[in-house]
Amino acid sequence: MEYYLWILVFHIMAVMSWMAMLFYQPRLYVYHTEHKNKKDFVEVVKIQEYKMYKYIGLPAMWASILSGILMIYLRPDLLSGDGWMHAKILFVILLTAYSFSMEYYRKRLEKGKFPKNGNFFRAYNEVPTFLSILIVGYVITKTFSIAFTLITIAFGAFVIYKVYKQKPKEE
């Protein structure tokens, strides 16, 4: 238990690095998609996308998950209570799926395939914001609130819809 706080520090730093990738990677996809006709620009963006995902995001994701598992192993009491940790784990699983989707889109864009437009990636860029609001809310309050969860999801869906439906940028 004497190492628990050091593992927590490592966990927080890993999560911060992971979130940096999750917030920035879709923005790179917006640039890639909206400037697909600028070959030199796209080549630079491809390098950024690759390095951001492979060297920052993926290792930080695994560090976050493994340190989180280790903290639960050291303090199984975290799983007791009103379910806040279970809710957090559910949304971390969704955040992990989102993270893997970043690699899916990166590989498609790398091959010159444009599965989505810039507005899609702008809207998709909002997903980790609302998932992290839920996760941080549960961790700070150490409680699960249906109202907080539903309001956050509804507001997130509204924001994502509005971003997606905005007037498209010139491609």
- State the binding site: 11, 88
CA distances from 165 to 26, 47, 77, 99, 130 (A): 17, 29, 44, 23, 18
Q: Which residues participate in the annotated binding site for heme?
A: 11, 88
